[in-house]
Amino acid sequence: MKILAISGSTREASTNTTLLQTMKNLAPLGIDVSVFHGLQALPVFSPDAQGERTPMAVREFLEIVCAHDCIIISSPEYIRAIPGGLKNAIDWLVSRVEVIGKPIALVHASHRGDDMLASLRLVLSTVSSNFLEHLFLRIPLIGKSPEDAVKFLCLPENESQIRSFLLDLEALVISARA
């Protein structure tokens, strides 16, 4: 199972990226998690820049999406909304075949952000017919340094939640293929 974990944050010391990186490190055998933390490299979406005119950074991103069985997104909330970089990446995907029907699940690194999550759920349910809205993991890391966040995530109860989430995602992806 190949999972693409997209961080909605462009911040270097992002708790969302830390959560995804720790998920990668704790993934059960047979589950390969790749973390994408490069939204800032994608140019602003333009319908005029599609087809042969698609920028190279976008083509590379689309190839990465295509090469994975499913997607996990972890994103901060910016002014009660989806961060611009993440929304831009989704805009590049919306008219493409790479994401249609691809299973997508959310994880969240904060006890806040419900407005952004509601908006992101609406967007993702529009983009993919296989948005797994009911599969959700929230582990509050707000205010923690990346080092403290990793220590917290590796506590037995959090490590167990992460592994269970990944195994549940794997089972849903496999059952959708059948």
Q: Give the pair of three-digit tokens for residue 124.
A: 């993702």
pLDDT tens string, the chain, 178 residues long: the values are: 999 999 999 998 899 999 999 999 999 999 999 999 999 999 999 999 988 999 999 999 999 999 999 999 999 999 999 999 999 999 999 877 878 889 999 999 999 999 999 999 999 999 888 999 999 999 999 999 999 999 999 999 999 999 999 999 999 999 988 7
* Pairing outcome for strands 70-74 and 131-138: unpaired
Q: What does the DSSP assignment read for 99-164? A: STT--EEEEESSS--HHHHHHHHHHHHHH-TTEEEEEEEE---TT--HHHHHHHHTSHHHHHHHHH
Domain boundaries, the chain: 2-177
Residue 56, pLDDT score: 96
**Taking CA 170 as the corner, what is the angle to CA 25 and CA 26, rounded to the nearest 5 degrees?**
15
Domain 2-177 has CATH 3.40.50.360: yes
